[in-house]
Amino acid sequence: MLVHPQFDPVALNLGFLQIHWYGLTYLAAFGLFYWLATRRIRQPPYAAGGWTPREVEDLLFYGVMGVILGGRLGYVLFYKPAYYLANPGEIFAVWKGGMAFHGGLLGVIAAMAVFAWVRKKRFFEVTDLVAPCVPTGLACGRVGNFINGELWGRAADASVPWAMVFPQSGSEIARHPSQVYQFLLEGLLLFVILWFYGRTRSAHSRPDGSVVWGRVSGLFLIGYGAFRFIAEYFREPDSFLGLLALNLSMGQWLCVPMVVAGMGIWVWAGRRA
């Protein structure tokens, strides 16, 4: 049975300044996004669309704002609405933790819509560019979760060789390292699927040669929703929520409309004239 290494959450302490591992994982996520996006704009059909690295920089800025604002508001509205209604001043206390992926996703969608409107580009052209560049950032976030020993998994059978005790949970129960599962599924595996699918001809064109926008975005919603739904079976539900209807967690219920919307977008993109 393994025991969580109990990393110091502070990566670098300069006395007057503390740099946390979680902050470094966010920087790595944004850096990877920029690196991948600047390569994606060289691929068809973006290579013929006049995209520039400067536009990718602006897109990253919009995305960062969407992640932070949407992630925080999503946590407030989806997970603890009653608490923050009673303590509205705590909404802005982001240093105390509390971010929700599904809220961050909605924030990014809104940010991409604004970017597309300002730059006079198609909405799904923008989201198809972004989608394959996102999973590596999600993987970085799960590394931060593991270093902090948070979002631990449910109790695991003793026969699971990688079961791990997380002292932060307040128990000596061996648990699934669900952060690692999510790193592998919604991070690495989803990235491989989207990156290679996004480079295929079928992702962006019809048999007649016309351009299709939306399929990559739809596949992202399907893939993330499905992988997160699976991973939630191994992740300990939030103590203040527990399991909801049908013994599903809040994370699983939020994934259901993602998968449905992704399927709808993928089919609609292929049929749209």
Residue 81: C-alpha distances to residues 73, 241, 255 (Å): 10, 12, 19
Q: Which residues of the chain have pLDDT under 50?
A: none
Answer whether residue 260 is part of any domain. no
Answer whether residue 201 is part of any domain. no
Angle, helix 21-40 to helix 123-130, in steps of 10 degrees? 120
d(CA 27, CA 133): 14
Output the pLDDT for position 190. Answer: 98
Answer whether residue 245 is part of any domain. no
Residue 32: C-alpha distances to residues 7, 23, 97, 102, 205 (Å): 24, 14, 23, 21, 27
pTM (global) more than 0.85: yes
Do residues 97 and 145 lie in contact, with contact meaning Cβ atoms separated by under 8 Å? no
Q: What is the pLDDT of residues 135-170, one digit of tens each?
A: 999 999 999 999 999 999 999 997 899 999 999 998
Output the pLDDT for position 175. Answer: 96
Output the pLDDT for position 272. Answer: 64
Place of tokens 């198809």: 128
Answer whether residue 252 is part of any domain. no
Output the pLDDT for position 45. Answer: 87
**Number of domains the chain is built from:** 1
Answer whether residue 238 is part of any domain. no
Answer whether residue 230 is part of any domain. no
Tell me the residue range of the domain where 148 lies.
2-192
Answer whether residue 220 is part of any domain. no
Does 142 show up as a binding residue in the annotation?
A: yes
Answer whether residue 16 is part of any domain. yes
